[in-house]
Amino acid sequence: MWIRCGKSLWHLEALRQSSKSPCLFSLFSPYSDTPHRKSKLAPLQERKMIDRFRLNAKGGDGGHGCSSFRRSRQVRRGRPDGGSGGRGGDVILECSPTVWDFSGLQHHITANRGGPGSSKNMIGTRGEDKVVYVPVGTVIHLIKGEIPSIVKNHSSTDLDPWEIPGTLVDGISESNQASTYNDPNMAAEVESLLHTGCSSDQNGGTLEILPCRKQTTQGASTNALPQLSPRNHTSKVCKKEEMEETEQMQYNVAELTEQGQRVIVAQGGEGGSGNVCTSRVPNKLKSIMPGVDKDKTIDVEVSDDDQYPRSEGLPGSESILELELKSIADVSFVGMPNAGKSTLLGAISRAKPSVGHYAFTTLRPNLGNLNFDDLSITVADVPGLIKGAHENRGLGHAFLRHIERTKVLAYVLDLASALDGRKGIPPWEQLKDLILELEYHQEGLSGRPSLIVANKVDENGAEEVYRELKRRVPGVPIFPVCAVLEEGIAELKTGLKGLVNGEISCRLSIDEMLLD
Ligand SMILES: Nc1nc2c(ncn2[C@@H]2O[C@H](COP(=O)(O)OP(=O)(O)OP(=O)(O)O)[C@@H](O)[C@H]2O)c(=O)[nH]1
């Protein structure tokens, strides 16, 4: 059978046998009458969370200053009127509750460069900032570059009129900062002459830039040190370089914990001065300005361009950062795989996490909100922990860091795991393993206010196991629940509220538990 396709004539049998045109063949295939379609992306809950990310940020370069002289019919050799170049854009990290993890980020981000200055004293445009949205709970570790600066937003009405963003004294650009001069006396003189203004944000407000908390490797406790998850590198050289970088890493240089919080991770370069600026600066200062040739400026017998030089924009700063996500929740559900944590989160909140009768259904922490009249509590369902999780068994230690920030721990135990000949471990043993895993990850982590959720109380024989659990684990409230049927949920909610409020304070101690 022959088929006409546009101007060509195709033989059906030849098409079927041809492996080069599978899409075309699928149109005529007897096995499938649906055309080939791209499969949908897996839902968020089923995708693996990217909670560590290497970011290379570069601020935009400053625009070059302009060399120009005023010309008109009356004035043939006018004054210099070349404007300064614009400042390069910054790379800014902003905390956003709508971002879950780092999966939407690019590894290399460069902000836009500033526009060049032009004649008639026109200053170049400021390079556009690159704003990268990161999840709430992002911790920044610095591998290379400057410590990020926190940006505080002020409305322009709060400002003194003299602080209006972008204000320059005597037309001298910000690039001529005193700090760039070698001679300290001269630097002081220049500092008194030059005023470094605040930079303005796009909303007309002013950005006050504060240095972030600095904490070096030596300063951090060894337990708190995050460990890099293994990556697939082909070359050994790359691995070695990365190891060296990791050793030099400055941990926790900044944290983004509130919506709208911003840090500048790479500053834009200052714009170069136009020749209008050098015409207003005394000759002795011109000789030490960056980008201006020392020998040319003082000579009397020089051309206009040499007498009133312009300078080039400075390059933007560069930094390499390791971003790490530590979820922030009031309560964390900690339990073995299949204990029913996700089902429980669905029962106490409106969250809809994936539930499955197999281990490790949960691949990322799920968050749910528990709303009371006077309080709202965030609850995190953390992927299941197994014995040896701190040594990277199961889903590994990657998720233990999400527990670090929670106020209250709710240990979810499966009452039915060892019933009816099942090969699971009894709930008190589950509890012991969970406590040990938390302690191996960070000493004292299990000592937070805690309660126990004894789940699957609906199963045959679970009541006896619950009574045995109560006998063996004294000192903390134990809530028997059936997450599937939503039984015991109201009491659990009240218990969680009391612990978060601080009305109740109970802590688990492995020494007080009766173990075999
Ligand atoms: N009988 C009974 N089964 C339950 C109960 N709660 C949860 N299950 C079942 O236990 C299985 C595991 O539930 P999940 O909520 O996925 O458990 P999980 O702890 O989130 O598991 P991971 O994602 O592996 O950490 C599912 O088949 C649930 O239907 C309960 O109260 N009673």
Tell the residue number behind the tokens 């295939």, with chain if given.
29
461 lines ligand 1 (CB under 6 A): no
pLDDT in tens, 497-506: 999 988 888 8
pLDDT in tens, 153-175: 544 444 444 333 333 333 333 33
User: Do 456 and 444 touch, CB atoms closer than 8 A?
Assistant: no
483 lines ligand 1 (CB under 6 A): yes
Pairing assessment for the beta strands 450-455 and 408-414 based on DSSP bridges = parallel
The partner residues of 56 in beta bridges, in order of sequence, read: 108, 320
State CA 176 to chain mean position distance: 33
CA of 414 to the centre of ligand 1 (A): 9
HEC profile for 104-163? CCCCEEECCCCCCCECCCECCCCCCCEEEEECCCEEEEEEECCCCEEEEEECHHHCCHHH
459 lines ligand 1 (CB under 6 A): yes
48, 336, 361, 489, best to mutate for ligand 1 pocket (most atoms within 8 Å of CB):
361
Q: What is the mean pLDDT of residues 80-86?
A: 90
Domain 46-221+249-324 has CATH 1.20.1050.10: no
For residue 76, name the pLDDT band (cuts at 50, 70, 90). confident
Exposure of 58 by Cβ count < 10 A (0-12 exposed, 13-18 middle, 19+ buried)?
buried
Residues 461, 420: Cα–Cα separation, whole Å: 9
Which pLDDT does position 136 carry in this prediction?
85
Of all protein residues, the one whose alpha carbon is nearest to atom 32 of ligand 1 is: 456
Q: How far is CA 414 from CA 103, 161, 244, 380, 480, in A?
A: 33, 65, 44, 18, 10
Range(s) within the chain of domains with CATH label 3.40.50.300? 327-512
Exposure of 156 by Cβ count < 10 A (0-12 exposed, 13-18 middle, 19+ buried)?
middle
343 lines ligand 1 (CB under 6 A): yes
Of all protein residues, the one whose alpha carbon is nearest to atom 9 of ligand 1 is: 340
362 lines ligand 1 (CB under 6 A): yes
Exposure of 114 by Cβ count < 10 A (0-12 exposed, 13-18 middle, 19+ buried)?
buried
Which pLDDT does position 86 carry in this prediction?
93
For residue 489, name the pLDDT band (cuts at 50, 70, 90). very high
Answer with the residue of higher pLDDT: 199 or 482.
482
State CA 335 to chain mean position distance: 27
Q: How far is CA 355 from CA 109, 295, 336, 340, 381, in A?
A: 37, 75, 14, 8, 12
366 lines ligand 1 (CB under 6 A): no
CA of 373 to the centre of ligand 1 (A): 29
Burial 437-458 (b: 16+ CB within 10 A, else e): bbbbbbeebbebbbbbbbbbbb
484 lines ligand 1 (CB under 6 A): yes
Residues 441, 226: Cα–Cα separation, whole Å: 10
- Mean pLDDT, rounded, of the chain: 73
384 lines ligand 1 (CB under 6 A): yes
Range(s) within the chain of domains with CATH label 2.70.210.12? 46-221+249-324
335 lines ligand 1 (CB under 6 A): yes
Nearest atom (ligand 1) to Cα of 355: 16
User: Do 325 and 51 touch, CB atoms closer than 8 A?
Assistant: yes
CA of 328 to the centre of ligand 1 (A): 24
∠ CA 434-462-456 to the nearest 5 degrees? Answer: 65
Q: How far is CA 214 from CA 54, 146, 152, in A?
A: 19, 11, 18
CB atoms within 10 A of CB 188: 12
Residue 153 amino acid letter: N
Residues 239, 233: Cα–Cα separation, whole Å: 7
Q: How far is CA 9 from CA 3, 24, 29, 183, in A?
A: 6, 14, 18, 82
User: Do 194 and 278 touch, CB atoms closer than 8 A?
Assistant: no
State CA 141 to chain mean position distance: 10
Answer with the residue of higher pLDDT: 88 or 195.
88
Q: Which residues contact 190 (CB under 8 A, 6 or more apart)?
A: 176, 178, 181, 285, 288
The strands making up 331-335's β-sheet, listed across from edge to edge, are 366-371, 376-381, 331-335, 408-414, 450-455, 478-480
ipTM (interface predicted TM): 0.98
Q: How far is CA 321 from CA 147, 171, 217, 264, in A?
A: 10, 36, 15, 12
442 pLDDT higher than 90: no
CA of 324 to the centre of ligand 1 (A): 29
CA of 327 to the centre of ligand 1 (A): 22
341 lines ligand 1 (CB under 6 A): yes
The CATH architecture assigned to 327-512 reads 3-Layer(aba) Sandwich (3.40)
Q: What is the DSSP string of 2-38?
A: EEEETTEEEEHHHHHH-SS-HHHHHHH-SS--SPP-P
Which pLDDT does position 388 carry in this prediction?
74
Closest CA to 141 of 89, 88, 219, 209: 219
455 pLDDT higher than 50: yes
Length of the chain: 516
